[in-house]
Amino acid sequence: MDCGDTAMTCRGVDSGRFGGPFGISPGDPLPEGAEPVNKYGHHFSTDVPLRHPAFVHYYASWHEDFGICGIGALSRVVDIERNKTELRNLFNEINSQIASQYGKPQWKTPKTNPQEHLSSGWSKHGNPEIEKIMLPTRATHRNAAVLRLSVQFGGPVVDCDVAIRKSLMAKIEPRKAGL
């Protein structure tokens, strides 16, 4: 399903099935096709129920015990040397869409140079399902950048983050992870 340019705000579509950002809400079951990252319950998916035309790549992190941990989306790469205002315009458009649903961001960088880092974020904004929303631009190389949106879910997200960190540490240093 495609919610057009309102994937962040498309709530209640199909009897609540697509209720959260990109159609994913806390409590949703682990999606079909989610790839296990390791044997500790961490899964990764590159698909979302609702797509937004500004973003071309998606990723969602799940834990089999805690559900969705976070969602991310990346725009296409923008050549900021040739298209000096395209990234800023995209940033402002998405920022406005998020603000219409979650209120004014708690922080926003007021940069005027299109090659500078743009960022805004929402935290503890009254929605108990969502812990944090971040909208930064990220350089991919010298004259190119992408817009990255990340949504961190609330509730069991702390347990989820701890479980994922432990599972990632177990790959690197099993003794330090306490496993």
Going from N- to C-terminal start, the domains of the chain cover 34-172
pLDDT at res. 6: 43
pLDDT digits (tens, 9 = 90+) for 105-156: 988 876 655 556 889 999 866 667 788 899 999 888 888 899 999 988 865 5
Q: What is the dihedral of CA 5, 7, 11, 17, to 10 degrees?
A: 130
Indicate the burial class of 178 (C-beta count within 10 angstroms; 0-12, 13-18, 19 or more): exposed
C-beta separation of 18 from 4 below 8 A: no
pLDDT digits (tens, 9 = 90+) for 64-94: 877 788 889 999 999 988 887 899 899 999 9
Which among 66, 48, 52 has a CA at the least distance from the CA of 164? 66
pLDDT at res. 166: 62
C-beta separation of 60 from 41 below 8 A: no
Query: What band does 18 get if pLDDT is binned at 50, 70 and 90?
Result: very low
Neighbours of 84 (CB within 10 A): 13
pLDDT at 14 over 50: no
